[in-house]
Amino acid sequence: MEDGRHILVVTFPGQGHINPSLQFAKRVVKMGVKVTFLTALSAVNRIPKTAVFPRGLSFSGFANAFVDGWTSGTCFETFMAEMKKCGSEAVEKHITSSAEKGQPVIHVVYTILVPWVGQVANALHVPSTSLWIQPATLLDIYYYYFHGYGDIIGSKINDPSWSIDLPGLPRLTGRDLPSFLSSSNPYDFALPLFKQHFESRDEETKLRILVNSFDALEPEALRAIEKLDLVAVGPFIPSAFLDGKDSNAKKWKDLAKEAAKEGGSSDKNLKDFLNEILAD
């Protein structure tokens, strides 16, 4: 894309969030669409100076009170409040300043734990889409947890003899479910953020979410929930990890490479998504 139009990708400043969202951004750029990658400055500063990125991918970081980022001694609630405050200001500033320069943001893509990004974009009349950086099955489980299954899961998840049948998914035991759903998990403080993520989108009758998966891997999970339009555009991992050296995973690595290569299912899904937002 030779003009200044671009996509803004916003992610939580954790390695497990940055790596897949950065792989997504690279693939978008290689399809000819410019991307600005926005996250906390502490994370941007950790990107190696020698790293080489495709032309059309730029980085922007916003400062906050946590110059070293998240650490084990950081109060999560305080950290996330600061992220929301400073991040919201950064998203708004980037969108408005880009428009003034004649380089408009045509779409905002954001990952989990930062649902406020979509709210800021909506207030500025810029369309946005959520990028789910985990498998579709996990998305389905979280969705069901917040839509009628929370009480039973919360009360039974630690029972080794218990299992549950969620619509469209195979039978699951407590050990199969995300540890965040257990009240005994020290990181259950993240649950309200997942809930806000879904609540902020519940007003839409058919919610489209880009997912870190591919059609051959999770055909049922990608279509399990009628209200969700899950679009498989993964896997978001470097091609070096798909070289097939691990014979036990060779079948799935080969399928992943087929999905991501030009003309593959994920490649086609991503191109269709980009063509749609470029046409708006």
b/e for 162-179, b at 16 or more Cβ within 10 A?
A: eebebeebeebebeebbe
Identify whether the C-beta of residue 182 lies closer than 8 Å to the C-beta of residue 97: no
- Which residue out of 17, 94, 107, 197 is catalytically annotated? 17
Identify whether the C-beta of residue 35 lies closer than 8 Å to the C-beta of residue 7: yes
Q: Is 94 a catalytic residue?
A: no
SS3 sequence of the chain: CCCCCEEEEECCCCHHHHHHHHHHHHHHHHCCCEEEEEEEHHHHCCCCCCCCCCCCEEEEEECCCCCCCCCCCCCHHHHHHHHHHHHHHHHHHHHHHHHHCCCCEEEEEECCCCCHHHHHHHHCCCCEEEEECCCHHHHHHHHHHHHHHHHHHHHHCCCCCCEECCCCCCCEEHHHCCHHHCCCCCCHHHHHHHHHHHHCCCCCCCEEEEECCCCCCCCCHHHCCCCEEEEECCCCCCHHHHCCCCHHHHHHHHHHHHHHCCCCHHHHHHHHHHHHHHHC
Place of tokens 């969620």: 166
Identify whether the C-beta of residue 37 lies closer than 8 Å to the C-beta of residue 94: no
Identify whether the C-beta of residue 164 lies closer than 8 Å to the C-beta of residue 140: no
Q: Which residues are catalytic?
A: 17
